[in-house]
């Protein structure tokens, strides 16, 4: 008899910073809050009803119910030792406490989630090990999901498609300040690399930016970028400008 050849199992490689999760099981989900039970019963058919009415999301399963294939990305906010004493970017920010028993390390991570079509969230988590810290940050990002107002506010384009932002906005966190401006189609995301990931998850494809302050502090820089995104929904836009700027959000 010919010998049976056993092929080795090749595991799929996942890029660093990308978290791949299994699809959400809607039937097996057991809600724990009043809002979760309302979603499971079908009383709330869209997450827009939750966000627009200012309802507080207290469990990540609500977001997974409406977006079972939500994109999750771990941002590079830490630094690890590199060659010749230099440092290189890392997705873990490590700190440690000196005690009588020895050093007690903690690992922090920042996670961004989004569907690439108008919804994005940012979370931060700390734990004694790396994976629990990432899970805390992922859960926190889902609880802080927001709706993003998009449009085409560039005078060079005027296409009316929601590929950029409708107006220029300003965000700040600590000493980091960022100014986001509309850009024409094909420009791309002209912004810091980690902020670029957040804007891509929000569904923004073209934007100009200018930063001030200690912009190398990546955590504050990312938070300033998200604050600028939040500012898009706070500014009132005239009804006649909605069509001109191609605004897509449903916020009035």
Residue 54: strand, helix, or coil: coil
CA distance 109 to 129: 11
The vertex-221 CA angle with 197 and 246, nearest 5°, equals 55
pLDDT value, residue 85: 64
- How many residues make up the chain in this entry? 252
Residue 163: strand, helix, or coil: coil
Asked if the domains at 13-147 and 148-245 fall in one CATH topology, the answer is no
Report whether 195 contacts 178 (CB < 8 A). yes
Query: CB 63: neighbour CB atoms within 10 A?
Result: 25
Model pLDDT for residues 190-229, shown as the tens digit of each residue: 999 999 999 999 999 999 999 999 998 999 999 999 999 9
Report whether 120 contacts 204 (CB < 8 A). no
pLDDT above 90 for 79: no
CA distance 113 to 106: 23
Distances (CA, A) of 192 to 136, 165, 170, 216, 233: 25, 17, 15, 10, 22
CA distance 114 to 161: 20
Taking the model in full, what pTM does it have?
0.86
CATH of domain 13-147: 3.30.160.20
Residue among 119, 148, 156 at smallest CA distance from 247: 148
CA distance 127 to 213: 30
Residues 76-80, mean pLDDT to the nearest whole number: 88
**Domain positions in the chain:** 13-147, 148-245
pLDDT value, residue 13: 44
Give 148-245's CATH code, choosing from 3.30.230.10, 3.30.465.10, 2.70.240.10, 3.10.20.30.
Answer: 3.30.230.10
pLDDT above 50 for 12: no
Residue among 94, 124, 127 at smallest CA distance from 109: 124
């Amino acid at each position: 008899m010919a010998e049976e050849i056993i092929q080795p199992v090749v595991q799929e490689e996942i890029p660093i910073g990308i978290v791949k999760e299994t699809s959400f099981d809607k039937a097996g989900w057991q809600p724990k809050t009043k809002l979760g039970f309302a979603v499971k019963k079908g009383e709330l058919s869209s997450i827009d009803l939750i966000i627009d009415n200012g309802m507080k999301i207290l469990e990540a399963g609500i977001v997974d119910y409406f977006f079972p294939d939500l994109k999750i990305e771990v941002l590079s906010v830490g630094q690890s030792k590199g060659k010749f004493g230099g440092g290189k970017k890392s997705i873990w920010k490590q700190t440690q406490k000196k005690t009588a028993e020895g050093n007690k390390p903690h690992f922090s991570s920042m996670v961004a989630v989004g569907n690439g079509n108008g919804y994005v969230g940012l979370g931060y988590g700390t734990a004694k090990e790396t994976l629990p810290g990432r899970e805390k940050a992922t859960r926190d990002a889902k609880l802080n999901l927001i709706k993003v107002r998009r449009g085409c506010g560039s005078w060079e384009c005027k296409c009316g498609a929601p590929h950029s932002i409708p107006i220029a906005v300003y965000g700040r966190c600590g000493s980091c300040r960022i100014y986001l401006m509309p850009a024409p189609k094909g420009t791309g995301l002209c912004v810091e690399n980690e902020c670029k990931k957040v804007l891509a998850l929000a569904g923004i494809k073209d934007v100009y930016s200018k930063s001030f302050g200690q912009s190398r502090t990546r955590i504050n820089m990312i938070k300033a970028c998200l604050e600028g995104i939040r500012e898009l929904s706070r500014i009132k836009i005239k009804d006649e400008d909605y069509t001109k700027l191609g605004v897509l959000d449903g916020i009035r």
